[in-house]
Amino acid sequence: MLLFESIQGGFIVNKKMKTMAVSLLAACLMIPGFASAAEMNMKVDYSKFMMVEKNGETWVPLRQIASSLGYTVTWSKMEGIMLTKKAMMQDVKDMDMMAEVYTITLMPGHKDFMVGMDKMMLMQAPIVMKNTTYVTKDFIETYLVTPMMMDK
């Protein structure tokens, strides 16, 4: 099978190769979309975790759930709890997909917390029970399951 046909000193791609090249290019462009769609459809099976009902809210263990969602969890007395995860983010200007580090920092007993460099406020401060930090299911769903997109 000839991949190229010669016409007066130049080359043209035969029809099969052209179709294959276009299909390969289209598949390569779709792959980041599949990855980000998978991240956006993460679900938490809360039945695997010890939940606590308090003040009309359902509280869940932060470290266990964050780890199950792929976050790295660290703690320090000075900074509190830091959750980090590499996530595919889309650059709004040129629509390129790139890996960014998504970071959340919070302190048990405090309603204010950080998402990246943005200060946010919780309705309910994280609580500690039996050496485990608990947050509301709403916090998990809003900030861990569906991470906020960061604009570049």
Q: Give 141's pLDDT tier (boundaries 50, 70, 90).
A: very high
Report pLDDT for 61. Answer: 97
Query: What amino acid occupies position 138?
Result: D
Q: Give 31's pLDDT tier (boundaries 50, 70, 90).
A: very low
With 60 as the cut, is the pLDDT of residue 37 above it? Answer: no
Which tens digit of pLDDT belongs to each residue from 113-131? Answer: 999 999 999 999 999 999 9
Q: Do you know the residue count of the chain?
A: 152
Domain that holds residue 83: 46-145
Are 20 and 56 in a shared domain?
A: no
Are 128 and 57 in a shared domain?
A: yes
- Whole-number average pLDDT of the chain: 77
Is 152 inside a domain boundary? no
β-sheet bridge partners, residue 5: 12
Lowest mean pLDDT among 16-30, 46-60, 130-144: 16-30
Q: How many whole angstroms separate alpha carbon 43 and alpha carbon 96?
A: 26
Is 151 inside a domain boundary? no
User: pTM score > 0.75 for this model?
Assistant: no
Is 150 inside a domain boundary? no
Domain holding 51: CATH number?
3.30.457.10
Q: How many whole angstroms separate alpha carbon 10 and alpha carbon 13?
A: 10
CA distances, 3 to each of 14, 27, 29, 48, 117 (Å): 6, 21, 24, 56, 53
Are 99 and 76 in a shared domain?
A: yes
Are 85 and 54 in a shared domain?
A: yes
β-sheet bridge partners, residue 105: 82, 114
Of the chain, the percentage scoring pLDDT greater than 70 comes to: 60
Q: Which residue has the higher pLDDT, 42 or 11?
A: 42
Which tens digit of pLDDT belongs to each residue from 48-97? Answer: 999 999 888 999 999 999 999 999 999 988 889 999 998 666 666 666 66
Report pLDDT for 77. Answer: 87
Are 134 and 101 in a shared domain?
A: yes
Are 36 and 95 in a shared domain?
A: no
